[in-house]
Amino acid sequence: MRLLVTGGAGFIGSNFVHQTVRERPDVEVTVLDALTYAGDRASLAPVAEKVTFVEGDVADAELVDRLVADADVVVHFAAESHNDNSLSNPWPFVQTNVIGTYTLLEAVRRHGTRYHHISTDEVYGDLELDDPAKFTAETPYNPSSPYSSTKAASDLLVRAWVRSFGVQATLSNCSNNYGPFQHVEKFIPRQITNVIDGVRPKLYGTGENVRDWIHVEDHNSAVWAIIERGAIGETYLIGADGEENNKAVVELILELSGLPRDAYDHVSDRPGHDMRYAIDSSRLRTELGWEPHFTAFRDGLAATIEWYRANEAWWRPQKDATEAKYAQLGR
């Protein structure tokens, strides 16, 4: 199989490439990545010899057409992915997430190529803390932020290209990932690296907001299950029953780092901050036989802390610029 992975130098995409090279030696991997602030070739260094890397934009129609013509399957991870950035400057989100997806869809339509679209549970909006409901593929779209609305737009393009043009696509909407190679702007790596730097972790608002954490390896094993066994046109929700509120996550990072559990600060809240996400992944489990392996969040988080301690050379170059952006927001 010749596989084109967009966004393969980012957090989830690079882990996907590592997992693919490790477990599927017969797959030929090409990565297309624009190397924005969020992409880092160092994340692919251990597999550099086994992967073809192309630096370029998913909205570059000529380049995309050429790469798609040589692929059997496209997995589209590339995106602007951070909610806080989308609130400061939404345009790159519209350009990459909407126009980039459109560009890929037109190419896979022309070449009849199998396409898997990576999306987020944030397209469904949020749930109340005391609501017993979880998101399913039937939950109506109700995105809150510029980020999630552009991801929702991209999902709707995929569905329309399946129905109107017969594009061979599947979609997945996953909850919050954690694990190695995640940019230090994101919640868990930001707090881990703050602690390493002797800075108190920062909780937005009350810290009651709930995210449904899944280890990135489990997200990626689900993506492979969908590529291999998913039904064309179908949407699969990916989650591992990992609901935790932000306060509990910060307390656990502090405890696992040998510090008092209350050694954090509250900072101003994110505008429009979604309260709770929760995924019902039963379709993926019953129809495709997928199960997560990293079910003990405490162990997964401890291993992630260890990874950031051992790989300071990877994240250190990003840390000051990231904190300078947050300082401007007062967070």
| List of residues contacting ligand NAD (CB under 6 A) | 6-7, 9-13, 33-36, 38-39, 57-59, 77-81, 96, 100, 118, 120, 151, 174, 176-177, 183
User: What value, to the nearest 5°, has the Cα angle with vertex 252 and ends 189 and 176?
Assistant: 50
Q: Which does 236 bind (CB under 5 to 8 A by kind): ligand DAU, ligand NAD, none?
A: none
User: Active-site residue among 40, 122, 126, 243?
Assistant: 122
- 3-class DSSP assignment, residue 9: coil
Q: Which does 160 bind (CB under 5 to 8 A by kind): ligand DAU, ligand NAD, none?
A: none
Q: Where do we find the tokens 């179908």?
A: 234
Q: Which does 106 bind (CB under 5 to 8 A by kind): ligand NAD, ligand DAU, none?
A: none
Which two tokens mark 258? 């040998």
204 binds ligand DAU, rule: CB under 6 A: yes
User: Active-site residue among 115, 124, 147, 264?
Assistant: 147
Is 244 noted as a catalytic residue in this protein?
A: no
Q: Where do we find the tokens 């036989």?
A: 289
- 3-class DSSP assignment, residue 205: coil
Q: Are strands 243-245 and 210-212 parallel, antiparallel or unpaired?
A: antiparallel
Is 277 noted as a catalytic residue in this protein?
A: no
For residue 317, give the DSSP letter: H
Interface segment toward ligand DAU; rule CB under 6 A; list 40-48, 65-73, 183-191, 303-311: 183-191
Q: Which does 277 bind (CB under 5 to 8 A by kind): ligand DAU, ligand NAD, none?
A: ligand DAU
Q: Both ends of the chain: CA-CA distance in Å?
A: 45
Which residue's CB is nearer to ligand NAD, number 21 or number 259? 21
Contact 161, 100 (CB under 8 A): no
For residue 66, give the DSSP letter: H
What is the closest distance, in whole angstroms, from the C-beta atom of residue 186 to ligand DAU in the complex?
A: 4
Q: Which does 34 bind (CB under 5 to 8 A by kind): ligand DAU, ligand NAD, none?
A: ligand NAD
Which residue's CB is nearer to ligand NAD, number 91 or number 262? 91
- What Å distances lie between residue 255 and 189, 214, 248, 264, 301, CA to CA? 15, 20, 10, 12, 11
275-297 burial, b for 16+ CB within 10 Å, e for fewer? bbbbbbbebbeeebebebebeeb
As a three-state string, the secondary structure of 163-175 is HHHCCCEEEEEEC
Which two tokens mark 294? 């990293």
Q: Which residue is nearest to ligand DAU (CB)?
A: 120
Contact 257, 305 (CB under 8 A): yes
- CA–CA separation, 317 vs 313, rounded Å? 7
Q: Which does 44 bind (CB under 5 to 8 A by kind): ligand NAD, ligand DAU, none?
A: none
Give the residue, chosen from 175, 193, 220, 281, that forms a contact with ligand DAU under the rule CB under 6 A: 175
Which residue's CB is nearer to ligand DAU, number 115 or number 135? 135
277 binds ligand DAU, rule: CB under 6 A: yes
Q: Residue 119: phi, psi to the nearest 5? A: -135, -170
Which two tokens mark 51? 């992967």
What is the closest distance, in whole angstroms, from the C-beta atom of residue 81 to ligand NAD in the complex?
A: 4
Tell me which residues in 65-84 interact with ligand DAU (CB under 6 A): 81-83
Give the residue, chosen from 209, 220, 221, 281, that forms a contact with ligand DAU under the rule CB under 6 A: 209
Is 122 noted as a catalytic residue in this protein?
A: yes
Which residue's CB is nearer to ligand NAD, number 166 or number 317? 317
- Catalytic residues, by residue number, are 121-122, 147
Residues that bind ligand DAU (CB under 6 A): 81-83, 120-122, 175-176, 186-187, 190, 202-204, 209, 211, 246, 270, 277
